[in-house]
A and B are shown apart, each in its own frame.
Chain A
Amino acid sequence: MKLFIKELFVGLLLFINADISFAQFESDYTPLTSSGSLPAEFITTAKEISKQEISDLGKVTDRSAKQQFIIANNYFLRDLLLSGNVLVNDPLSRYVNKVVDQLLKDQPALRQQLHVYVTRSGDVNAYAFDKGFIFVNVGLLAQLENESQLAFILAHEITHVIKKHSVNQYIENIRLENGTSSYERGSSEERNLARYRFSKEQESEADMEGLKLMKQTGYSIKAMGGAFDVLQYSYLPFELVDFRKNFFEDEYLNLPDTLYLKKSSEVKSNDDYDDTKSSHPNIRKRRGSIEPELKVNDESSRKKYLVSETEFKNVREMARFELCRVYLIERDYVNAVYASYILSEKYMNNLYLKKTISKALYNILVNKPSDHRSFTNTVSIGNGNISSKQYVVPDYMNIEGASQKLYYMLGNMTSTELNTVALSYTYKAYKQHAGDPVLSALTDSLFSVLVNSNNLFLRDFSSKSKAEIKKSDTTGKAALAEPDQEESKYTKIKKEQQKTEVETDDNFTKYAFVGLLKDEEFVNRYTKMARGLTQKPLIDEYTNSPKIKGKKKKKKNSVPFLGIDKVLFLDPFYMKVKNDHGTEYVKYYEIEEHQKILADIQKKCADKLKLEYSTVTTKDLSESDIERYNQNAVLNDWLGERFRHGDNNSELVTSSEYIKQLIKEAGTQYVAWSGVYDSKGKAHHCTYFFILMDLESGKLMKFETRYVRSNDNRDLITSFVYNSLMHVHKKPSL
């Protein structure tokens, strides 16, 4: 009886717990951030670590290669750790670490060597470094079916660490390159293939050893088999949910069937693909080699979940929410809409999902060729050129599974159609979450595109529904029955046109706002935008005006002064490379030193110009600097996303909403990033760049590049930096 009560209590507790876990997603979702104190590896410089590790190497074979590996590995690792993509002490990392604890329950010494983190990347992947660092992507967590699968993937990565696969592969690659490998000494092509073969052998070993490790734990071996399915179908969204067009429809907005694919294509993934030039064996081979080993006698006593099923599902849900944001940042807009759509089925009122969909629709829209005039222009700022990177909805023919319908719809919609649908969706979301500034701003932006780009005004939309028009048409016919009322030819033509429109789905946009036009705020905002009373959001005043034939173009100051008083500087980029007969060697040690020099130069130049200077740096982090680390992560997300837009200033930087606090704290909305690439071969080549962005509007304010055949002398760099900052600070001449 006592036991029953206890079990009942535990069950109830779990039920309540489960309910709480998922209730958190009902109304909104807050993106993951790091918390607690920063681990030592985030604080120590790569140079310090490398020097220590090299001195610990002692006399070993392939010392030089190992030394190179240590340095390259440490610098790569540090870049990754400070990229802002690595989450520290967040629910996802904590959970993954608990699974590692389960795996290595009996090996505490090994467990202590491992540092396991979750990274904000959409790739369905996990990877390991020799030094015991394992990274699991959010994209992988979102796809998993159970904890056992995660445990197997982690066991696989742990094997890579134990067996020192990275360093072995690095050394083997060098030997293959030099022709000294005992593995393969054939032609260059054969040696290249040998590299893949070597890597595949390591992967197979990691699978087998990982399975052995799994068997030592209580995880279900049968359940982990699905891990290969996860990998095989990793290109598909985390769930296959049929996309219904009524998601965007309402009583009046009815999408025509021509925009809806009746049947989506089947999933045709082939697990026996050619893996000759692949680092991993194909899935069929991996599955085949591991299958005979899957049989265990104690499967019935093994569990899918050793940590917690609730926690796994909660973590997976978080990963899926996080993935929506990652898709936006990675400019995968249709997937962002589809992932949000899947989650919306469960969390209908979630503000985060609605915002994700609105942002994605907006960015697809501004990249579509306008029905009236080109909306996207090329930016000419400074002497540099950023190539145009227009987003195009991927061809639906290349998409498999249920999401194909969404690709088809968004790909085939015209700018006007998409604008109407996006505005309708966003405005309704805004009304539902009244006061949300992001949805409000997006509504204005969509009005702006409607007016400025698609040239549609209130008069272009019907305030009467098709049913109402049909009804009035019948009344009109009855009136016409009177013999003295004759209908003119033109009235007949117009009526005929209207009849066709009403009876078919053509021009569905005309009737899309029938319901919304009854809303006073909607009408007012639209009217204001049409009259130009509200600020034109996201339209860029820096874009070039079209050339007028016959008129001589006024000579424009190609490098305008911006009159900015305060700038937030990011850690500068520095790369020093030695080019030796076509092979490039990165001078890692010098990089850190020169980064510091460049930062000092920036400070000096800003001081000279009386330009207020603040920095977001990760160079001198301490344990307690988690806030600074998070700020850097937010900024990196923003910049990464903005750079993907290229010169498209009209595209919305979707992560802007998370950067407001940083702008407030920094006291400026302008962020600058500069860097130097110095290469020494037969001659010195030095390239300098400077980028200034407006964090509020996402505008690329300045992009400057300079290339010289000279080494990166301090005075040369100083002159470049001063010039850039002078243009930033100096007031524009009237």
Chain B
Amino acid sequence: MRFKEIFSVCISAITLWPLSALAQSPGYLGKHVTLGYSNNFFPALIGPVAKSYNKGLNSTHGLNFEYTIKNRTNFCFSFQRFRTGVNINHTFIQSKVDSFGNTRNTTYNFDSKEPLLLQTNGLCFGFKFFDPGVLAPVGKYRKFELVLLFSKLTYGGKSFIIFDNYTNANPIKGKIGTGEYKFNSFALTYSLGRQRVLFDLLVLDYGIQFGVVPAALVATLNMESDYSSLSTLESVLRQETNRRLFRYETINLHIGLGFLAF
């Protein structure tokens, strides 16, 4: 394991050093690579946050790598992570046909003091295009990014109350227990921002980001007989996750601090 780590660091250095040294773009004082931390944040106006239905702050932590490839263009790669909550404020029915040929409807009622926990890791690839006149990495920019979102939605033991209508007259009431689902999705983001270099070393980055999660749009457009009898818990949670991600990515303020590595 240790060998692998050292090997990958060496490979990265061997690849990046000549990229930097032979670059045709100036970078900042000859430095083309910026490593840093960033935070996207915005008040959770609609959705819940990780552990509360009350209004809170959505906050995404990110580790960034940026490389100046042209006079006004940076290639950006970042790893980001955030936690938020998902609230399902409706009931849905899942229909099943049992071995006797009878249709069994299970009604799911979301009933929890805490929202469902959505933990998402994101991998972002994109480009920053700096304004005419300036030279990367200093000045105003526009950034386009593709964000691959790997989400894990966890529900606790008391999250759902189910009513099994095996006998309509006397439905069985129960809880489904704990569980988690993993969903993959992606978002497209567009940012407007500005970078400053402080003390010829630190890179301060701030701006605003707008994003869309296409999967959520599709789901909304289809207005799937959402919570129809054919819905499964997984599909419902997937949709809810995408919707939550959509709201999460729609608008964010952004601030980051990095350093000019080489």
Contact = CB atoms under 8 A, between A and B. Distances in A.
B135 interface: yes
Contact of A722 (B30, B133, B140, B198): B30
A103 B79 CA distance: 83
A718 B140 CA distance: 16
A17 interface: no
Nearest to A708: B133
Q: Please classify how large the interface on chain B is, using the bins under 10, 10 to 19, 20 to 34, 35 or more.
A: 10 to 19
A720 B198 contact: no
Given A715-B138, A715-B197, A706 B133 contact: yes
A708 B135 CA distance: 10
A719 interface: yes
Contacts of B28: 715, 718-719, 722
A598 to B, nearest CB: 15
Nearest to A609: B30
A716 B134 contact: yes
A483 to B, nearest CB: 83
Contacts of A604: 29, 200
Contact of B140 (A605, A609, A710): A710
A706 B29 CA distance: 17
Contact of A719 (B26, B131, B140, B198): B26
A59 B129 CA distance: 56
B196 A715 contact: yes
B128 to A, nearest CB: 14
Nearest to A716: B138
Nearest to B140: A710
A605 B200 CA distance: 11
B134 A718 contact: no
Interface string A601-614: 00011001100000
Interface string B1-37: 0000000000000000000000000101110000000
A713 interface: yes
A708 B30 contact: no
Nearest to B30: A608
A723 interface: yes
Contact of A718 (B131, B133, B197): B197
B139 A708 contact: yes
Interface in B194-213: 196-198, 200
Nearest to B25: A723
B134 A710 contact: yes
Contacts of A718: 28-29, 138, 197, 200
Given A710-B140, A715-B196, A715-B197, A720 B30 contact: no
A603 B188 CA distance: 43
B29 A722 contact: yes
A608 B131 CA distance: 25
A435 to B, nearest CB: 47
Contacts of A720: 135
B232 interface: no
Interface residues of A, number: 17
A726 interface: yes
Nearest to B131: A708
Contacts of B138: 713, 715-716, 718-719
Nearest to A723: B26
A643 interface: no
Contacts of B30: 608-609, 722, 726
A729 to B, nearest CB: 11
Nearest to A727: B26
B18 to A, nearest CB: 14
A467 to B, nearest CB: 66
A710 B139 contact: yes
Nearest to B195: A715
Interface in B67-117: 71
A723 B140 contact: no
Contact of B135 (A605, A710, A713, A723): A723
A76 interface: no
A707 interface: yes
A687 to B, nearest CB: 9
Contacts of A722: 26, 28-30
B139 A605 contact: no
Contacts of B140: 710
A706 B196 CA distance: 17
A566 B196 CA distance: 30
A604 B28 CA distance: 12
Interface in A668-708: 706-708
Nearest to A557: B24
Nearest to B134: A708
Contacts of A719: 26, 28, 134-135, 138-139, 197
A713 B28 CA distance: 14
Contacts of A609: 30
A706 B130 CA distance: 13
Interface string B120-156: 0000000000010111001110000000000000000
A723 B71 CA distance: 9
B152 to A, nearest CB: 40
Nearest to B199: A715
Contacts of B200: 604, 715, 718
Contacts of B29: 604-605, 608, 718, 722
A251 B140 CA distance: 72
B206 to A, nearest CB: 14
Nearest to A705: B133
Contacts of B71: 723
Nearest to B136: A719
A19 B48 CA distance: 103
A605 B138 CA distance: 16
Query: Which of B28, B29, B131, B135 is packed against the most chain A CB atoms within 10 Å?
Result: B29
A608 to B, nearest CB: 5
Given A605-B29, A716-B139, A718-B197, 7 more contacts: A608-B30, A708-B131, A710-B140, A719-B26, A719-B135, A719-B197, A726-B26
9 contacts: A604-B29, A609-B30, A706-B133, A708-B134, A710-B140, A715-B200, A719-B134, A720-B135, A722-B28
Interface of B: 26, 28-30, 71, 131, 133-135, 138-140, 196-198, 200
Pick the 10 closest A-B CB pairs, nearest first.
Answer: A715-B197, A708-B133, A723-B26, A719-B135, A719-B138, A726-B26, A715-B138, A706-B133, A722-B26, A707-B133
